[in-house]
Chain A
């Protein structure tokens, strides 16, 4: 009996069982624990938290394990779970000036109040595979590095933002202070993004946007598709306190710390008919230790401000609909992969159409050549 290629429930269940088996891999290997993922693949966890838009290291580690290390799939798992979570309220804005800084670098000043703090970084490491790490952890400790030495003196607790230093001279465009009657920032996880999008919504979209996409756009800005001349004013990383004001208390309470990476990019601006020359800002803020993404984000944020600064839009990074509609990898991955779903009804209608158009075109051609032959015959007859 003829059966069209259609998947029954059994086929789907079997496919998922097969995937679970592949995920586990060789049973002779010890299974990964969430603690191992959280501790030893911390930057993967950070990326999944950022793009999954949920700060929970344990859930991110679970998602990474379930997704077999596919971080885009893991971010999707976290997002889908996030949908089901109740919302208790909004925190106060986090104050990154009060961050417990573990890393802080500025490219614009050799030294500055609070100093340069290198912190944990891949920078200046030679990217040579470290075969000591390949040794099995079970046999002789696995060649793991000993702990890092402690600094001789604690860091200066005062770590002013570099942009605040420029601000005091009036050299950098001030961030507009929140007006008392201004509406609270929007929330792209509750309301659809509409265009033109204000900066709060742009920053939210970028903060959970795909790192690869932002990296490419930021790179394009540097190569001339958007004409920016950026300097890293400052990158800072470390834990920041999150505070909420419960209605019944009426004052702020600290509910814990989250690790953040913040990047403030200082950009040249030559001025326009409307504004004197001044430095302008690009801003990046990402969950966890995600320096590359925070930097790319700050480049793209600045590029998207072309409109308000009266700059000509020349590159894709300056086009807010292009950037914001395509930055989300959960949306993008879904829509790209949906092409493997059956489309045979639309395809059938296209088939019918193409066949009809071809038949008509061939009929026209045949008619034309018949007319041509007739004309040639008539000419020949006349000539005789």
Chain B
């Protein structure tokens, strides 16, 4: 998902600053330090990265020079909305898109006397994600109250975890797509904690009031806090992508950014290269797409670097900025006056969350193969990085691919079918790979049928689309449509002789030098064989006949 999204960036979608920055980042890739976490990889850089290079722009040269002197320090807070059936602390359904204020009860409405009761699934998901992010788990964690007044927060406090999160001290490994310079990265995970979501506020454009929908109030979230290990917009976007991927692999969230199921707040500061202490930290919110993360950060890096360069570093203040998608820039939302005091204290209404070793072990045992492990396995199978990233990107695609090769299909061929024709079909039909009727078993059959010459590649493609849409078996379809490739030279020769004799004029032209006409003959013969003639054999015999001196 991420990769494809990033791949669809058009250079002109970037602001001037963004473009030049992106270019700079790529060219400087190996000079940037990655907190000692960059691991050496054996990726071949054989694929040439598609387009992306923006035309050299003189105006951006100066900025490029400025940017070269600074290093960005980026950390991300990711909120993952969990796909539980019920809310975190009450039994109301956790449904996106319900009619406003219908999925409510005394607990999530904060009625007097109502008490929270923790959903066991939230703990399970917290442990799953914690393990997937290589964290240490707290066998005894607790909930705390984070207090502030807001109309979308019914109780006047959010139940969250403050000083003892369920998981902490982990990391995530990912691969930067080749078109962005490639390379393997490891980013630290500070912590993962459980908390509840707030409701939704709608601001009417006309009226002098706001509206509150509390359906979302109390929906469970896992907040993932990264170490400040990222150095560019691309890294940050790839990190966010990997969070989405992991959440989807684990089945803990649908990770949908548009619905707000995955939300990223970015903390960013820059400092002159070589300086040890961090610069002033700015928070960016309202990042609703991975591309927005990347562009907002690159914009912000440029903005801050320019201020530094112009001696206006004091104008970089601790604040929250909003990404404005339309204007492609960040704007001040509010300045922070000192640290907000949320008056955290332990939530007395909830017992501590106790994890037993057996429980953790059972969850560990049930974890699926995670994206990083998948990528390394695919790489070891000999697939190129582009294929690896494509296949491992979507868990359903990866599972499909694994099933196909599990049925014995050749790895590279299976990858090609999935990445080209099937991917195109999915895109056109707006389907997911889970929707298609072609089973992995049959794709493996199809690949085998082509490989062993039972059918031609061309016929293979034709029946692929029928199998995708209608299902059925490859063998059945070959039989029903009589599609078995003609590989008998005698039979092909008969057709060649017939076609050649029926086209004396073309034969004459061919023999007088218009050798391109071979294609014409081949087409006619293929047509006669209803596409079943083995193309190699056909051409071999055709050439013999055309060039024969009779």
Report if A and B associate in a common complex: no
Taking Cβ atoms with an 8 Å cutoff, the residues of A that contact B are: none
Name B residues whose Cβ lies closer than 8 Å to a Cβ of A: none
